[in-house]
Amino acid sequence: MAADAPERDWSAAEAEIMEATYRALLEHGYAGLSISRIAAELGKSKAAIYYHYDAKDELLATFLEFAVDRFEATVATETGDEPTADLEHVIEKLLPLQPDEEQRQLQAVLVELRSQAVTNEVFREQFTRIDDRLAAAIRDIVERGIDEGTFRDVDPSRVAEHVLATVNGAMYARATTDRESAAAATRVSLASYIDSELRRHP
């Protein structure tokens, strides 16, 4: 985990609200989300939510932080042995080759939330931090690969930004077009990019 991106401690009450927000977002999308619907998923009153969050946007900004914390925790658990496999694992997490319905819904919701960042400063700060943290997670793996001698001596930040932009772009296109094969083609090309940029060929 990058030293500049500490995970926050989530109280049980907060984590429950975040899980309820996640379910409500999947069910109703961004446009249909309301504190009432989150409360319904939570099985508690709206007051139980307003005790923690003043407004829907504040709750959603916090939800994004929660989602990235969970993503990083999963990545930290599931990676660590082999930099090439770890990089592929992170890419598969961010841009699944064959997303199930829940993953598709989540990515659609993330695109809707992210478009708010064009005009909403709170969302913009949140997505800035999200991309910072995702780029750091990729960069850490590349740096580890270089240290271990698996990868060539490339600029880890440059590679991390490339992978992140490509994955974000393909995810964005998947949520906003019917070009199903484009994401698959991008996954193949990313694997090729990683191979030609990073791998030491004996």
Residues at the interface with a copy of itself (CB under 8 A): 29, 31, 108, 111-112, 114-115, 117-119, 123-125, 127-128, 131-132, 135, 157-159, 161-162, 164-173, 175-179, 182-183, 185-186, 188-190, 192-193, 196-197
Which residues, 6 or more positions from 21, have their beta carbon under 8 angstroms from its beta carbon?
Answer: 33, 38, 41, 59, 60, 63
CB of 83 to a copy of itself, least distance (A): 18
Task: Tell me how far, at minimum, the Cβ of 23 lies from a copy of itself, in Å.
Answer: 18
Min separation Cβ 88 and a copy of itself, Å: 16
Q: Which residues pair with 199 in a beta bridge?
A: 151
Q: In terms of CB distance, is 60 or 108 closer to a copy of itself?
A: 108
Min CB(196)–a copy of itself separation in Å? 5
Find the shortest distance in angstroms from Cβ 118 to a copy of itself: 5
Please state the closest distance from residue 145 (CB atom) to a copy of itself, in A: 16
Instruction: Report the residue number, 61 or 171, with the smaller CB distance to a copy of itself.
Output: 171
In sequence order, which residues have a C-beta less than 8 Å from that of residue 101 and are 6 or more positions away? none
Would you say 40 or 184 has its CB closer to a copy of itself?
A: 184
Question: Cβ(117)–Cβ(127) under 8 Å?
Answer: yes
3-state secondary structure 92-130: HHHCCCCCCHHHHHHHHHHHHHHHHCCCCHHHHHHHHHH
Q: Which is nearer to a copy of itself, 29 or 80 (CB)?
A: 29
Q: Give dist(CA 198, CA 202) in Å, integer.
A: 12
| Secondary structure letter of residue 65 according to DSSP | H
**Which residues fall within 8 angstroms of residue 181, CB to CB, at 6 or more apart?**
none
Cβ neighbours around 186 below 10 Å, total: 20
16 versus 197: smaller Cβ distance to a copy of itself: 197
Q: Which is nearer to a copy of itself, 59 or 135 (CB)?
A: 135
Distance of CA 138 to the CA centre of its chain: 12
